[in-house]
Amino acid sequence: MLPLYKTIPSPVGQLILVARDTKLAAILWENERLNRVRLGPLEEDSQHPVLKETERQLMEYFAGQRRRFDLALDFAGTDFQVRVWQALLSIPFGETRSYRDIAIQIGQPTAVRAVGAANGRNPISIIAPCHRVIGTSGSLTGFAGGLAAKQFLLSLEGQQTLQLVF
């Protein structure tokens, strides 16, 4: 069975929600970089229960009414990537961590660059909050949705404006 998708509007542009069976597999950005997340062919289904529930929870988040998501997730990646993505889930709403913090958390303190690469391939943006990962200096660094979207999400969560790095 092909993964199913639904496109929704959001304050950070159109988002493409993708489900595999009964789990959320991806949230992709409007101007998604080709092959950042490998999913293969997709089939549209705007009524799929997982996609509808994801949309509902995202709208609550954007309205400032939700701080935690309650969705079954289907991370597809290497063991290392999945460990990084799972670590993202532990970053509390309104807080940030550095790539170094994540590397230490997963028990590989010298893997800072690899953590950055895995973070950049996070398939479930916003829900697995890769936007909460910043440079050690406190600067905003690359983000699949663009730095303006990253700043918006951090501001929504109450973070002060951070320095943008291009």
Residue-wise pLDDT for 52-99, tens only, equals: 999 999 999 999 999 999 999 999 999 999 999 999 999 999 999 999
* Crossing angle of the two packed helices 79-88 and 112-120, in degrees rounded to 10: 80
Query: Active-site residue numbers?
Result: 130
Element (H, E) at 14: none
Which residues are CB-contacts of 108 (< 8 A; sequence separation ≥ 6)?
80, 114, 115
**Quick check: 100 and 112 in contact, CB under 8 A?**
yes
Of 160, 156, 122, 157, the residue nearest 140 (C-alpha):
160
Consecutive sets of 10 residues in the chain, 166 residues long: mean pLDDT of each?
Answer: 94 96 95 81 95 98 95 96 97 93 97 94 96 80 83 86 47
**The predicted structure's pLDDT at residue 134:** 87
